Amino acid sequence: MIKVKKNPMVSVLLLTHNQAKYIASCIEGALSQITNFQVEIVIGEDASTDETANICRRYLQKHPGRIKLISSANNIGLNQNFIRSFRFCKGKYIAYLEGDDWWIDRNKLQKQVDILESNPDVSLVHTNCKLYKEEDNRYQNHLIQYEGVCIRERNRGIDGVIAEFEGKQRPMKTSTVCYRRDLMAQILAEDEYLFANPEFPTQDFQLFQEMALKGRFVFLDVDTTVIAHHESLSVSQNPEKRLRFRRGFFKIGLYLIEKYNLPATAAQKWFWRELNYFIDDARVRQDSRTLREVMTDAKDKGYKAPVKQRIKYNIATLFY
């Protein structure tokens, strides 16, 4: 039995809630990593109502020296589960892992740590991945497609954030990333609200922006991870659930536009994309209340909708 040292090199930060179908594969992928350093797996299990908690407990019993299980008597939500579980992590680096994804490259962590150890200016390393579509039991290889070198891979700073808002960044999937724990601790100390606000339904969007300010990124173009596409918080067949998630995502963007004082050109492009989503949503659900709200929010930040979008907006708000 491998005993985890007091300060392992990597903490696998695994968050899960009601993911019994995938959680065993998720944990097995983490346990299977081949490294020349110590790895701990910190599982934040947030009061699941299915078999997720029992499965996690069984793995804890089998691997008590490698796994920490942080449990909840009551559901505390993704935001607080993330913050609480992060504070139990002792590794120099954090490898984030969602409970419905799993690693398929046994050398994933070794590859990422080798880069981080050799490049102190790198804040985060991420990889390509496969997409598993549960509805038709199909895999899509090499999900991330991007030509050239992303600006966030050349240097750190606000230019990488601007690229994100302009839609010019290389896409990223959270379960592929490995980043420096001390930087995340610094980010939380500076602005915990950005991750704790219950109206913000995710951490990855803001995590990537904050990490881009702290250092440059490295991308490994190899499929190390399977991302499961199924009914979940961010991917739902329920239009109301999709809308709530997107509304919360929009609020994160509003907060960051003001926090970083982003240039109007970047904000305009981001608002344009987001408002197109809400216009389509209003038409599908035949309800424009949320559309009106987000347009008001955007205008308050100086957004000026192009003529075609204004026409679409007026039609949606007139009839729905």
Contacts of 273 (CB under 8 A, 6+ apart): 167
Using a pLDDT cut of 70, give the percent of the chain over it.
Answer: 96
CB count within 10 Å of CB 199 equals 11
pLDDT at 2 over 60: no
The confidence score (pLDDT) of residue 280 equals 95
Q: Is residue 238 part of a domain?
A: no
Partner residues linked to 131 by β-bridges:
140, 227
Residues 175 and 277 in one domain: no
Q: Is residue 251 part of a domain?
A: no
The confidence score (pLDDT) of residue 235 equals 53
The confidence score (pLDDT) of residue 147 equals 84
Tokens 């804890």 belong to 60
Read off the pLDDT of each residue in 136-151 and give the average, rounded to a whole number: 91
Residues 26 and 139 in one domain: yes
Q: Is residue 245 part of a domain?
A: no
Q: What is the CATH number of the domain that holds 66?
A: 3.90.550.10
Which tens digits make up the pLDDT trace of 21-50?
999 999 999 999 999 999 999 999 999 999
Give the pair of three-digit tokens for residue 51. 């078999």
Among 229, 249, 271, give the residue marking a domain's end.
Answer: 229
**Domain around 151:** 10-229
Residues 136 and 276 in one domain: no
CA separation for the pair 243, 77 (Å, rounded): 18
Which tens digits make up the pLDDT trace of 305-319?
999 999 999 999 998
Split into its structural domains, the chain has a count of 2
Q: Is residue 246 part of a domain?
A: no
Q: What's the count of helices (H) and strands (E) in the chain, helices before strands?
A: 12, 9
Partner residues linked to 132 by β-bridges:
139, 228
CB count within 10 Å of CB 150 equals 20
Read off the pLDDT of each residue in 6-20 and give the average, rounded to a whole number: 95
